[in-house]
Structure 1
């Protein structure tokens, strides 16, 4: 089995691998002459009709001063989705890296799917949060704007991002606010019929459990385009993945490797599949999301790793069955592992944290 890199071969995922998985080849099959699709051409179609790349470049926890170069190198490598957030504190660097790639003719702005998120201190001031992010990025619009977490931290607190109470705990607003209030403001950014907004082409959520998403859908006029969640074989979150598919909400997976150097890299099944395809465990863990119908975010600031992560391998039915079986067994026995869970002191409805 070969890697999906800069050309398509018999081992490249086909549109049949997922009901909404598409390539440029799908839309231009009638043309006798066309460029060979690259990894950047592999997309999923959102409920807005917009196409989102199947693999993106994540910027969470990237050290200051290296993000711009990371984004630039990712775009040069072929990534066409960049994920960031106001909370990460690196939107300006993301914009710098994108601007450099545009100025050198590597990409145009329209080529790149930019995602950012409204932070918890702005969930009652969504428009202001979006304006700040756009100013940081140096952009007129983002392709996708997400609610980062379904909560409100004191907007008049002692810190712009992480206000604290005298005892050192997070300054959370627990009365007079519901996460659906934020969604009503998100809906105002786009066309009520689901059309693209001027500053945000699509809106969605992040870190929403099945319970929270159910509450949102009861009152939503616009169905979220995306739910970005921690997702990997050690935390498959199949309940929320199934619900999102039923409702036409696309899953975007962050922390797909679990934790760097963590147990998934040593898991026997992952190693077995990696050996079979002649790739690293990281490539297997990233590739697992494609047949699941999910976009996956790869994260690194090291040029060689940025390039390596872009190589998705086509997993066959046996591979998927092995990895899914491992994931399902962890869920059945209550041994899933969640690596990202900030100390908000709120029960978000995740079964493993209830």
Structure 2
């Protein structure tokens, strides 16, 4: 039986999921093969997104495994996200995702980024769209309301948001009819986002952690020479040694024990099986948890430069670091 967590609305969700963002390094077929192996190994939560360009292939896997009786649809928790170019036509985006994934409905549908700033997949870090613009409260609420309608229709069972900030939340939460059940955000030992993490929990949303190990294999365009490798920190290595495990398992245990749901990505059977199993036993001690809480370096890995609008200074403007929405 998979360990479960509670969403903000009390619905249950598996405590660890399988990511499907193969960055620019894996083909859709390779990601789909990993999803098949993952489900056979016991994963029940799969985190998808239309922009990853592999939902069709993953859908074939879902159909195959349900046809074979390996898993029933009701036992899978399938998540996807509306991409930035479809904020004004969310229903069409959602229906295409459901059709591609061959899953009938989505267990959770996210707004992938809180603004409709679009960029072509695999573009260079300096790429900018002439149509990009700052965050708009009205536009965000319009996009969210479209997902609320999908919820009313039963196409979406839970609503999620992603890459939000406290100032953005403060403006939009009072205007929403259905509170988001989860907030997908970057969380790993060197980027703990304590204030936003605590705010997310306090507002009744489950934090879902992308890049839970610090993602050494993210797209080249996102790699900065100053980035810190979480899994190579001596403290992480020492804790791993204490337990006779890989530092990646330490990062995942820490995530689950802290109260966030990690969605690691791997195409290697040994790794994704170990990721799944490590949260079930031999958890970290209170002392080890405290030690990891001191490792935060504010090291954001997904900076989002490609979403900047004309007039924005740099990627810091996307994250409202001064406590106000940057326009």
TM bin, normalised by shorter chain, reads 0.7 to 0.9
Question: Hey, what's the Cα distance between the residues in 1 that align with 2:188 and 2:194?
Answer: 10
Which residue is 2:12 aligned to? 51
Which residue is 1:345 aligned to? 308
Which residue is 1:27 aligned to? none
Which residue is 2:171 aligned to? 215
* 1:114-153 equivalent positions in 2, closer than 5 A: 114-153=78-117
Equivalent residue in structure 2 for 1:170, among 92, 109, 129: 129
Deviations 1:97-139 (A, max 9, x none): 2222222222111111000000000111111110111111112
Which residue is 2:146 aligned to? 185
Question: Hey, what's the Cα distance between the residues in 1 that align with 2:8 and 2:65?
Answer: 29
Which aligned runs of 4 or more in structure 1 are off by greater than 6 angstroms? none
Between structure 1 and structure 2, the one with the greater Rg is 1
Question: Hey, what's the Cα distance between the residues in 2 that align with 1:100 and 1:66?
Answer: 16
**SS of structure 1 residue aligned to 2:150:** coil
How many residue pairs are counted as aligned between the two chains? 296
* 1:192-341 equivalent positions in 2, closer than 5 A: 197-260=153-216, 263-310=229-276, 311-312=278-279, 313-327=282-296, 330=297, 336-341=298-303
Question: Hey, what's the Cα distance between the residues in 1 that align with 2:320 and 2:236?
Answer: 25
- When normalised by structure 2's length, the TM-score is 0.84
Q: CA deviation at 1:352?
A: 9.3
More helix by share: 2
Q: CA deviation at 1:218?
A: 2.5
Are the equivalent residues in 2 in contact too, given 1:91–1:137 (CA < 8 A)? yes
Q: CA deviation at 1:181?
A: 2.2
Question: Hey, what's the Cα distance between the residues in 2 that align with 1:263 and 1:102?
Answer: 38
Question: Hey, what's the Cα distance between the residues in 2 that align with 1:272 and 1:173?
Answer: 45
1:163–1:215 CA distance, 2 compared to 1 (3 A):
farther
For structure 1, the residue ranges without an aligned partner over 5 or more in a row are 1-37, 192-196, 331-335
Question: Hey, what's the Cα distance between the residues in 1 that align with 2:233 and 2:67?
Answer: 43
Question: Hey, what's the Cα distance between the residues in 2 that align with 1:47 and 1:305?
Answer: 30
For structure 2, the residue ranges without an aligned partner over 5 or more in a row are 218-227, 310-316
1:340–1:190 CA distance, 2 compared to 1 (3 A):
same
Question: Hey, what's the Cα distance between the residues in 1 that align with 2:110 and 2:128?
Answer: 25
